[in-house]
Each structure stands twice: as C-alpha cells, then as structure tokens.
C-alpha cells in the first residue's frame, strides 16, 4: 500500500545542499580516482562502460582494445566521461562529467608519457594497447550533502 501524501511528509527529511563545483575542483577530483564510465552512441544506442583512466594535462585517457567498439568508431567521437563518489551513510557525494571528442592517441611523445604513468590495469582483460583521449569541451560537477 502506498502511503497518502498526508501520511508521509517528504519535507520531514533534512534538505540536501547542492554545490556546483568549479572546473579546478572537478580536475582535482578526477585526479584522485582511477575508475570512471565512458559513454558514447553506437548504432543508435547509448553505451556506457567502466574504464580505468589517467588524467594528464587536463585530458582524460583510457586504454581499450584495437578491435573494441570504441576503437572502431570514427575519430572525433562525441563522448561523456563520468566519475563519482558517494557515502550512503552520510547521504553525500559528488559527480564530475567531462564531455568532448574522443580520439585514438597517435602522438609518440604523448604515448611514451602515458605508458610511463602509473595506472590500474584496464577492465575487460585481454590486450588494451590503444590509448583513447578525451579532449574536453565541457567539465562540470556537483557535490550533494545533507543540509
């Protein structure tokens, strides 16, 4: 049975505070995590995959396989990349969204730097030797907590 609006008062729960994060705060939070989700359209479907990632010079990079769905798409693919953290007990958390074109990394100098950076092993197993970089044209985030 669903309680009537008179029996249940939504405003009896402490209100949440929402804080828009600055771009600098977003990059700081991005740099403190290692797993996020990449989202892109393929054949009319929105696909979302967890990936381990690196942040380097205000770009997001992750590794994938040469024959993965993302690697087979045309260059300059519009993507979104999301990272978050939450504390269920405190009813608090944050989320950062990076949006922009994604392309395979072909620059040898950049590849040398990326391969030299410490990172967690990619999800999915198998060979993940293709770095994909997201060139952000929008970085947004927010923090939510109990008031």
* Predicted pLDDT at 37: 95
Q: How far apart are CA 147 and CA 145, in angstroms?
A: 6
Structure tokens at 45: 């479907």
* Predicted pLDDT at 77: 76
Q: Would you list the domain boundaries of the chain?
A: 31-146
Q: How far apart are CA 103 and CA 89, in angstroms?
A: 39
Show pLDDT as tens, one digit a residue, over the chain (147 residues). Answer: 555 555 555 555 567 788 999 999 999 999 999 999 999 888 888 889 899 999 999 999 998 888 776 666 566 678 999 999 988 888 889 999 999 999 889 999 999 999 888 877 776 777 788 899 999 999 999 999 877
Q: How far apart are CA 54 and CA 116, in angstroms?
A: 11
31-146: CATH class = mainly beta
Q: What is the pTM of this model?
A: 0.81
Cα dihedral 72/80/30/133 (nearest 10): 30
Q: How far apart are CA 92 and CA 72, in angstroms?
A: 38
């Amino acid at each position: 049975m669903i309680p009537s609006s008179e029996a249940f008062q939504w405003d009896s729960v402490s209100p949440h505070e929402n804080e828009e994060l600055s771009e600098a705060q977003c990059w700081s939070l991005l740099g403190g995590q290692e797993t996020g989700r990449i989202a892109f359209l393929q054949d009319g479907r929105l696909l979302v995959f967890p990936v381990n990632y690196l942040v380097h010079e205000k770009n997001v990079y992750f590794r994938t396989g040469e024959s993965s769905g993302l690697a087979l798409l045309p260059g300059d693919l519009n993507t979104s990349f999301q990272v978050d953290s939450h504390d269920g007990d405190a009813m608090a958390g944050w989320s950062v969204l990076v949006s922009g074109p994604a392309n395979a990394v072909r620059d040898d100098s950049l590849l040398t730097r990326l391969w030299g950076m410490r990172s967690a092993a990619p999800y999915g197993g198998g060979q993940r030797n293709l770095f994909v970089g997201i060139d952000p044209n929008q970085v947004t985030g927010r923090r939510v907590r109990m008031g």
